[in-house]
Amino acid sequence: MARYTGPKNRLARKIGQDLELKTKVVKLDRRLQIPPGQHGPKGRSRKISDFGIQLAEKQKVKYTYGVLEKQFRRYFEKAAKDPKATGVKLLQLLELRLDNLLYRLSFAPTRAAARQFVTHGHVLVNGKKNSIPSYQVRIGDIITITEKIAQNPVVKELSQNKNAKIPAWIERKALVGKIIREPEREEIDAGINEQLIVEYYSR
């Protein structure tokens, strides 16, 4: 399956939750509880099965981090081999993706933009250019962006915002970010129920 390239807000409306896929959420807020489709929901509303709930949670996390099914399953299989709780480790692996780190450091307005910055060669890890969005950043790694992308008006505004919410497990000074530790579960989106994803893949 190819990467989804359609309207981002349609995915959010499908899930019924803001997935931080777009920077302007005013229009989304107005229509978030309306399912996508010209005529809205058809027929009577039916009770969603346990499988449907688990699937929706998996899809929500996939859409949020911009990961395809095959890659997402690999993350799950890697997490399952770790002594930590599978669900928590899965979220940590997703959080430590290079494109997500760029977003968390407030060097990009969305994860999709962060992915583009990485693939276009605007990001350095430990001083070396890295063009792999899924690259797993390690503790102690230093992330910087090139001067060219730093002059982008949107990036410039973001990087100079002193009120940016930078997670406690990351340090940021000017255009440099450093991973000081792995994120704790409570530091990752509380709206995610990772246990449902574990149950989905454990069927």
For 22-33, write each residue's pLDDT tens digit. 555 555 555 555
Percentage of residues in the chain having pLDDT higher than 70: 78
Distance, CA of 63 to chain centre: 8
Q: Which domains does the chain have, with CATH numbers?
A: 1-46 (no CATH), 51-94+189-203 (1.10.1050.10), 97-181 (3.10.290.10)
User: Which pTM does this prediction carry?
Assistant: 0.81
The yes-or-no verdict on residue 124 having pLDDT over 90 is yes
For the ranges 67-71, 160-164, 175-179, the lowest mean pLDDT is seen at 160-164
| Tens digits of residue pLDDT in 142-169 | 999 999 999 999 999 998 888 888 999 9
> In the block, which residue shows the tokens 């390239």?
5
Q: CA angle, corner 114, sides to 4 and 152, nearest 5?
A: 125
The yes-or-no verdict on residue 182 having pLDDT over 60 is yes
pLDDT (mean) for 159-185 = 93
